[in-house]
Structure 1
């Protein structure tokens, strides 16, 4: 109880040297030094802050690709149109592993009709909608398919795939519709229309991302930034900067056969990771596997000070 009487070490008078100490000055210097270091390291080592890619960016940078993709959306031949759940019920579009069909488990929760939702509806919101919308909506499915197929082939044959250089043909309202959509995108209004989807707040980027992904401009940008699956893109940030390192195991399986070339690679990786996670969870209950630390006592090296006393 000596501390109560002031006889403990805390109660003894200080007989050493005494000097003034400015706590506020010390704090100010520390904050300034740390701030300079943080900003300096961020400038040198941080990943690039590239601007967001929008439909306006795409339409102005690669108008031919935009028109070709809009044509595919109209004709129902784009990747989104045949993706399956959760966007549509395209037969045999899902990735399965035997009887396992996780993609169809929750059904079509975000219905997307590419012709209607990505082309016709946005055009109908214009102050002066193209009159060709009526021609498209009243035509038969076969007629629409024929128009878009013919125009797609003509775009492929045109110099530089330029819509302005397409040869004359029976394309119906397709050139007018895709041209109007291109103009809408180039002025920036298409992004807002697709993101709002009938609501006041522009918070749903699903249609925009799907539209971008169906073209070649966006995937080409991903390739140039080392963000595709065969570039370990799942664990990269923009420009091949290291990102989510904990995703290395997911990315690893996409780099090896037979997963790498499998049509159902996604579900294969999900199942493999599920099995590995289950094994990790039940390690304490697996005879033989749970005794590996006894056979290979690496933990004794990590906590060597502790085991010296035992």
Structure 2
């Protein structure tokens, strides 16, 4: 009998969901609510982004460089031809320049992977792009036919003449034996001003390309690009790794990585990058192994920082 009553009660309770609603009813427009929600939230997002968002600086291009600082562009192109730029002497992974790699003691970490992205600055940044023109300048053939010593003498003489010219302007360079160098750098300047050099260095012969290695290396060898970085507080001594453009804060979690570049012995070491990387690897390993290191793993209990944070909880304990 009890079982039957329980079964009946369960069925009655189960049928509550099927009972008709007897309370008040009002219209509800889901589409209207959705539209208002999207519009309001959209305006809020746009407004907050406009007020607090990061600056949207225009991208730096070889065309912009050639127009804004033609003298620096020509001087850099001459260095690329003479293989005296920073990229030409960087070492792995771009070239096999002796003693260019950073080391940790006797260990040459930079050379472990070898020269994987080979860059010949004279050919890749100047000669090969000029050869893509419908009518390559005759100076290309003169350069190709010259000996390495002749090329070195021409570029050294032209670089010195540029440095001595008023405002370093190519048009003010004194007469001298510069071979085809002035014609090559002038043709490359015109190519960059027309916007063609960006496509050649970035495209690499492919229509779809995301490899900006060569254009960035070329830009970095001049003074125009580094000066832009300095004006935006992005250089190493300005904690650039923690900034976006201007004074906008960036990746705050990289503070320790950036801090090491500001202190000795990292700050003045020619192997700073390698030292910082190895130091961060050691610190990361220590952090990972912290739960297993006697003494260190007890520090949270010995230092009552948690009691200060949750002082309301520990006040009466």
The answer to whether the superposition gives a TM-score over 0.5 is yes
**Equivalent of 2:131, from 118, 124, 128?**
124
* CA spacing shift, 1:262–1:8, aligned 2, 3 Å: farther
- For residue 244 of structure 1, the aligned residue among 251, 261, 264 is 251
CA distance in 2, matches of 1:8, 1:292: 60
Rounded to whole Å, the distance in 1 between the matches of 2:76 and 2:11 is: 83
Write the deviation string for residues 33-79 of structure 1: whole angstroms up to 9, x where unpaired: 22121111111111111111110000000000000000000000000
Q: Secondary structure at the match of 1:104?
A: coil
Q: How does 1:269-288 map to 2 (within 5 A)?
A: 269-288=276-295
1:164 and 2:161 matched: no
TM-fit CA distance, 1:4: 5.5
1:54 to 51, 58, 61: 61
Question: Could you report, residue by residue, the CA deviation over 1:224-275 in whole angstroms, capped at 9, with x for unpaired residues?
Answer: 0111111111121111212222211111111122211211111111011001
1:75-132 per-position Cα deviation (integer Å, ceiling 9, x unaligned): 0000000000000000000111102222111000000000011101111111111111
Alpha-carbon spacing, 1:4–1:234, altered in 2? closer, same or farther (3 Å): farther
C-alpha distance 127-3 of structure 1, shift in aligned 2 (>3 A): farther
1:120-269 map, 5 Å: 120-269=127-276
Structure 1 residue runs without a partner (length 5+) = none
Indicate which of 84, 87, 93 corresponds to 2:100.
93
2:3 maps to: none
- Cα displacement (A) at 1:201: 2.7
Question: Equivalents in 2 of 1:9, 1:228: separation in Å?
Answer: 70
Distance 1:3 1:70, change over 3 A: farther
- Equivalents in 1 of 2:43, 2:199: separation in Å? 40
The match for 1:6 among 6, 13, 16 is 13
TM-score (norm 2): 0.89
Please report how far the alpha carbon of residue 13 of structure 1 lies from its aligned counterpart in structure 2 after TM superposition. 9.3
TM-score under structure 1 length normalisation:
0.91
Match of 2:301 among 294, 297, 305: 294
Taking the aligned partners of 1:235 and 1:101, their CA distance within structure 2 comes to 28
Question: How many matched pairs?
Answer: 310
Q: Based on CA coordinates, which of the two structures has the bigger radius of gyration?
A: 2
Q: Distance in 2 between matches of 1:71 and 1:82?
A: 15
